[in-house]
Amino acid sequence: MRDFFKDYKVFFIVFGVISIIIVAMIYNTMNVYKPLPIYQPASVSTELVDSTIQYQKKYHKIADFALLNQNGKTITQNDYKDKIYVADFFFTTCQTICPIMTNHMVKIQKEILNDDDVMLLSHSVTPEIDSVAQLKRYAIKKGVNDKKWNLVTGDKEEIYNLARKSYLAVKDAEFGGPFDMVHTENFMLIDKKRQIRGFYDGTNEEDIDKLLSDISILKEEK
- Give yes or no: residues 54 and 113 share one domain: yes
What confidence category does residue 28 fall into, taking pLDDT thresholds of 50, 70 and 90?
very low
Give the structural domain span for 1.
1-32
What confidence category does residue 178 fall into, taking pLDDT thresholds of 50, 70 and 90?
confident
Whether 62 contacts 76, CB under 8 Å: no
- Give yes or no: residues 91 and 10 share one domain: no
| pLDDT of amino acid 177 | 83
Q: Tell me which residue of 108, 196, 85 sits closest to 100, measured CA to CA.
A: 108
List alpha helices for 31-116, DSSP H.
98-112
Q: For residue 215, give the 3-state DSSP assignment.
A: helix
| pLDDT of amino acid 174 | 79
23-32, 123-132, 167-176, 211-220: the lowest-pLDDT one: 23-32
To the nearest 10 degrees (0 to 180), the angle between helices 98-112 and 205-219 is 40
Q: How far is CA 176 from the centre of its chain?
A: 29
Backbone angles phi, psi at 175, to 5 degrees: -130, 160
- Give yes or no: residues 105 and 193 share one domain: yes
CATH number assigned to the domain comprising residue 188: 3.40.30.10
Looking at the structure of the chain, the number of domains it has is 2
HSE, CB side, 13 Å, CA atoms: give it for residue 192.
12
Q: What pTM value is reported for the model?
A: 0.84
Q: 26 or 208, which is more confident?
A: 208
